[in-house]
Chains A and B, each alone.
Chain A
Amino acid sequence: MRKSFLALFKKDCRMLASGKFFLMAIGFLALYTAYVNLGYIRFMQMPPYNVYLYDPAGTQTERSSLVQTVPSMKAMDTALLADANGVGLDASAGDVRVVIYTGAKHVDRHRTDYALSLLHPSDSRAPAVLGRNTPKQKARKEITCELLFFELAAVGFLGIAAVLFKEKGMGVIRVHAILPLQRNLFLLSKLAVFLLSDLIFAALLTLLNVGLEDGGAVLPAVLIQTAILSLMMALVGLLCALLLKDFRQFTLAYLIIAVFAATPVFLSANTSVKFDWIGYHPFYHVYMGLKNAYFETAISPIYYVGSTAAIAFLFLAVQFAFRREIGKEV
């Protein structure tokens, strides 16, 4: 059995290598790492709005270095025309007057408060900080978690389905029905290849983007969550590849999963948008499991029971579809 599994595992690795899957994974890793370190973190540290001050008499002596002074009202108008989210402060008449292009009411209020707070930075109250993460570290963990979830749920899912569609097209799945091997090994070897590749990907992505020390600390929990999501997505990918006729049909299923299933999860987990029904969405729990792993928050044992049951159910469904596929007429 061990020898059969190794033969299947080796063959699956070759299939993936010939389909440039590993190359693609390395490419995505480099792309994500560059995005986090060169783009996202810098972006998150940028001030939310530019603030322009017209103060000919120089009354605002305490102002923050983030405030940009303009020589005239005309120059402020020009600046705001080019930067419609910016906030203008006119201190030429004694009291400070706020000048903005209006948008949503609550956002305008936020822009105004922020701009005015920059005139007296020392007055800002220091809030009580919860958790141990610095804002930078929090941003790193959040974006790494999102990218890893996207990679596992979309890219890996596509990869496993592509391999199986290839084998289905070549008809070789049927040959495995008459070989002296346990049929489940055919599925298990594929799951093992993808699981291993996802675990390596998750470890590298976490260490490169969260950092060696912090990343290392959360890595065991992240790898457990990666394994759960990887197995689920690989099984869904296998099921789709076995049940659907061709890659075109699969692309439609992929779009449904990527757009309609993943979008509300990201919205609910990362923004203030809350859907009443999100608790029934399985992806939400899996995503939160991954996020909790990054932020070292306890995960309910019920979640593990549910995940194990889901994986077992999906495996049985894949097994059924696989047996159906090998017995099919040509």
Chain B
Amino acid sequence: MIEVKNLTFSYSKDKQALHGLDFTVKDGEIFGFLGPNGSGKSTTQKILTGILKGHGGKVILFGQDISAAHGREFYQKIGVLFEFPYLYANLSAVDNLNYFASFYPRKQRQDVGELLEMLEFKPDFLKKPVSSYSKGMRQRVSMARALVSDPRLLFLDEPTSGLDPSGAVLFRKIIEQERKKGTTVFVTTHNMLDADLLCDRVAFISNGDLAALDTPKRLKEKHSDRRVVIDYLYQGQRKTKTIETPELEAGISFAHDEIVSIHSQEPTLEDIFIQYTGRGLS
């Protein structure tokens, strides 16, 4: 779906934002693009969505070079959720969505009412202006806007930002559903939980360079120190012991009366990101 080869971009002569990125995103894949502020995430997404011109290297989307593919047809196939919910504040959710939907062919458009229902949007607010909505409600309308054209490729920038935990769970469920339909999803985020739970593969970007690219599971395995922490009870006392994972193969060798819990000590994605880049994600 997306093929990026040696992608470079400079905002000015002495400000190179991207230093030769290489990655591919397969059809129907959820691909996470992780990096701190100013790392080149937004620049990459803007190039992929055809907003920024003048890049170096090759960017191929839908089998076509991006520089030749930013016409009407290209934009009919993509949906974009921006980091901030950009909506007309004086119009209602329904009016906003009908307006944005009107640029797509009728047969491609999803039903606005059904979309908002799926996103658990409060029905009382359907006809009220966006200016009266909470941040979470605006984010739901923005997500509906990204989905209204039933896109084949979905770009999501911080999709769960501004949502409460149940809203974040709902959004992840919807993104999963999109993938099941065959939609390819390119997620740009700081949120490690989103990346871990959603993404088939993640790429770490730092200072315009790709630091790592793999599945979250493999990245964690690769950097795990293969230890487990066991909480147990022995002679009426609660104790903790850390052992190497291979030791477990022979069973629990130390004396105990009851095992309370076993925790693997694998690192989080954020830990791995710091290991690769020396920088945190916030």
A176 to chain B, nearest CB (A): 9
Q: Which chain B residues lie closer than 8 Å to A329 at the CB level?
A: 42
Q: Which chain A residues lie closer than 8 Å to B51 at the CB level?
A: 174, 177-178, 326-327
Which residue of chain A lies nearest to B52 when distances are taken between CB atoms in the complex?
Answer: A327
Which residue of chain B lies nearest to A172 when distances are taken between CB atoms in the complex?
Answer: B86
B90 to chain A, nearest CB (A): 4
Which residue of chain A lies nearest to B82 when distances are taken between CB atoms in the complex?
Answer: A174
Which residue of chain B lies nearest to A17 when distances are taken between CB atoms in the complex?
Answer: B90
Q: Which chain B residues lie closer than 8 Å to A182 at the CB level?
A: 72
Contact A180 B103, beta carbon cutoff 8 Å: yes
Instruction: Count residues of chain A with CB under 8 A from any CB of chain B.
Output: 23
Q: Is A26 an interface residue (CB 8 A)?
A: no
A179 to B82, CA, bound (A): 13
Contact B87 A172, beta carbon cutoff 8 Å: yes
Q: Looking at the complex, which one of A7, A18, A170 makes contact with B87 (CB distance below 8 Å)?
A: A170
Which residue of chain A lies nearest to B86 when distances are taken between CB atoms in the complex?
Answer: A171
Contact A7 B102, beta carbon cutoff 8 Å: yes
B59 to chain A, nearest CB (A): 15
* Per-residue contact bits, chain A 1-43, to B (CB 8 Å; 1 contact, 0 not): 0011001000100110010000000000000000000000000
Stretch of B73-81, B189-197, B201-209, B257-265 that contacts chain A: B73-81
Interface of B is mostly: loop
Q: Considering the complex, which residues of chain A in the window 44-72 have a beta carbon less than 8 Å from any beta carbon of chain B?
A: none
Contact B100 A175, beta carbon cutoff 8 Å: yes
Contact B83 A330, beta carbon cutoff 8 Å: yes
Q: Considering the complex, which residues of chain A in the window 147-195 have a beta carbon less than 8 Å from any beta carbon of chain B?
A: 167, 170-172, 174-175, 177-182
Q: Which chain B residues lie closer than 8 Å to A179 at the CB level?
A: 75, 100, 103
A21 to chain B, nearest CB (A): 12
Contact B87 A180, beta carbon cutoff 8 Å: no
B276 to chain A, nearest CB (A): 24
Contact A330 B72, beta carbon cutoff 8 Å: no
Q: Which chain A residues lie closer than 8 Å to B229 at the CB level?
A: none
4 cross-chain pairs, A with B, having the tightest CB-CB distances, nearest first: A171-B86, A180-B75, A7-B102, A180-B72
Would you mind naming 7 contact pairs between A and B with Cβ atoms under 8 Å apart?
A167-B88, A174-B82, A178-B75, A180-B75, A180-B76, A180-B104, A327-B51
